[in-house]
Chain A
Amino acid sequence: EVQLVESGGGLVQPGGSLRLSCAASGFTFSSHWMSWVRRAPGKGLEWVANIKQDGSDKYYVDSVKGRFTISRDNPKNSLYLQMNSLRAEDTAVYYCARDNDGFDIWGQGTMVTVSS
C-alpha cells in the first residue's frame, strides 16, 4: 500500500524547535521530489518546502526561509522538516506529500501548536 505517515508534532513554545518526520512506503521514495504542506486553523493549504530526489535542491516559502530545513534519508525512506524559531503563525497541521506533477499522495498530517 502506498502510504505516507507523519510524526513529531506537538506543543512548543514560541522560539522553540521541533522536528517532523514522514515515513514513506509502497513506492520508490528516492525517485520523487517530496514536499511539506501545512494548513493553519481557518486558513487554506500552504506549500512549505520541497526537496529533490537526491536532496541536492531545496526550496522554501518565504515565510519559513532561514528557520525551517527540509531533508531526506533515502535508504530509510524518510522525509524530515526541522523547524526552528517557531512562531504562533506556524501553528498548523503539517502534511508530507509526494510531488508527481501535483501532490498525488498525502500523509494524514501531524499537528504543530506554537503557544506559551
Chain B
Amino acid sequence: QLVLTQSPSASASLGASVKLTCTLSSGHSYYAIAWHQQQPEKAPRFLMRVYSDGSHNKGDGIPDRFSGFSSGAERYLSISSLQSEDEADYYCQVWGGDMMFGGGTRLTVL
C-alpha cells in the first residue's frame, strides 16, 4: 500500500536554506511526486515534479530558490534564501491510479 510520509513541521531562519522530505513507502521508490505550496488562506500552488532519477521540472514562475531532487524512496524540496512568504504548508502528491497527498509539512520561517 502506497503511503507518502512527511514531517508535520519544519523551521529555518530568514535567509537560510531548508530541505523538506517526502518518503515513499516500501516498494514504491520509483514513483514521481509533485510538490505543492499552500500559504495561509490561499489556494495551493504547484511547485514542481520530482522524478526518481533526481530530475525535476518546475511550474511557471517558480523562483530558482526552489529545487527538487531524489535519493532512493526520498523526494526532496529544497528552498534557499528563505523569505517570509515561504512560510506555508508543503504537500507532496502522487498521481495516476494512486492519487494521494502526503500529510503536509508546515514550514515556519524564524
B is a partner of A: yes
List chain A positions with a Cβ less than 8 A from chain B: 35, 37, 39, 44-47, 50, 59, 95, 97, 99, 101-109
B46 near A105 with CB under 8 A, answer: yes
Q: B residues bordering A, Cβ < 8 Å?
A: 32-34, 36, 38, 43-46, 49, 59, 89, 91, 93, 95, 99-104
Q: Which residues of A contact B103 (CB under 8 A)?
A: 44
B contacts with A: majority SS: strand
Interchain Cβ contacts within 8 Å, total number: 56
Nearest to A95 among chain B residues (CB) is: B43
- Given contact pairs A95-B43, A103-B34, A106-B45, a sample of 12 additional A-B residue pairs in the complex whose CB atoms are under 8 Å apart: A37-B44, A44-B89, A44-B103, A47-B99, A95-B44, A101-B49, A102-B34, A102-B46, A102-B95, A104-B34, A106-B44, A108-B43
CA distance A102 to B99 in the complex (A): 9
Which residues of A sit under 8 angstroms from B99, Cβ to Cβ?
Answer: 35, 47, 50, 59
Closest to B100 in A: A47
Cross-chain contact B34 with A101 (CB below 8 angstroms): yes
- Hey, which chain B residues are within 8 Å of A39, CB to CB? 38
17 A–B contacts, CB within 8 A, in A order: A37-B44, A45-B36, A45-B44, A45-B93, A50-B99, A95-B43, A95-B44, A101-B49, A102-B46, A102-B93, A103-B46, A104-B34, A104-B46, A104-B59, A106-B36, A106-B46, A109-B43
